[in-house]
Structure 1
Amino acid sequence: MGLLSGILTLPLAPVRGVVWVADQMALAADRELHDPAVIRSRLAALNQEYEEGHLSTEAFEREEDRLLDLLHGRRSVVCQ
């Protein structure tokens, strides 16, 4: 970036900074959502909730299927 273009685009610096932060947050959320260790811990918590009677069988199976789809890399899963 040249000196002149740097000076001319200086007013846009805050906007570029906000866009960069938003991109970084989206990447971090995506990594966490699809991290196998996180998914396994969510499955374990789900099983514990079901065993303690906090979830119906239908709700348990629906969420378990969604988490297993995520774990096996089927990214077309829609969050509910």
Structure 2
Amino acid sequence: MGLFTGLLLLPLAPVRGVIWVAEKVNDAADRELNDPGLIRSRLAALNQELEDGNVSLEQFEREEEELLDRLHAGEVRSAPNHRR
């Protein structure tokens, strides 16, 4: 970037900084939301809650389906693409 371009874009620097921070926060949240280890531990905790009687069967099935969908979606995203 040249000096002239840098001076013209200087007023936008705070906006670009905010966008960069927002992208980093979004990336971190996405990683945490789709971390297979965290999903599996939540499934185990949910199963324990069902056994302890803290959640109803309907709520268990609803949450379990959501967690399994997230787990499957993460596996599909991370699977290599084998095209010939």
Q: TM-score, structure 2 length as denominator?
A: 0.81
**1:72 aligned counterpart, secondary structure:** helix
Offset at residue 37 of structure 1 (A): 0.6
> Where in structure 2 are there 5+ consecutive unaligned residues?
75-84
Q: Which amino acid aligns with 2:39?
A: I
Could you say which residue in structure 1 is the equivalent of 2:42? 42
> Where in structure 1 are there 5+ consecutive unaligned residues?
75-80
The whole-number CA distance in structure 2 between the counterparts of 1:73 and 1:21 is 26
Q: If each structure's helix is expressed as a fraction of its own residues, which one has the higher value?
A: 2
The whole-number CA distance in structure 2 between the counterparts of 1:69 and 1:53 is 24
Offset at residue 36 of structure 1 (A): 0.7
2:51 corresponds to 1:51: yes
Q: Which amino acid aligns with 1:23?
A: E
The whole-number CA distance in structure 2 between the counterparts of 1:56 and 1:33 is 24
Moved over 6 A (4+): none
The whole-number CA distance in structure 2 between the counterparts of 1:22 and 1:69 is 26
Could you say which residue in structure 2 is the equivalent of 1:21? 21
**1:55 aligned counterpart, secondary structure:** coil
**1:49 aligned counterpart, secondary structure:** helix
Percent of residue pairs bearing the same amino acid type? 68
Q: TM-score, structure 1 length as denominator?
A: 0.84
**2:47 aligned counterpart, secondary structure:** helix
Aligned residues: 74
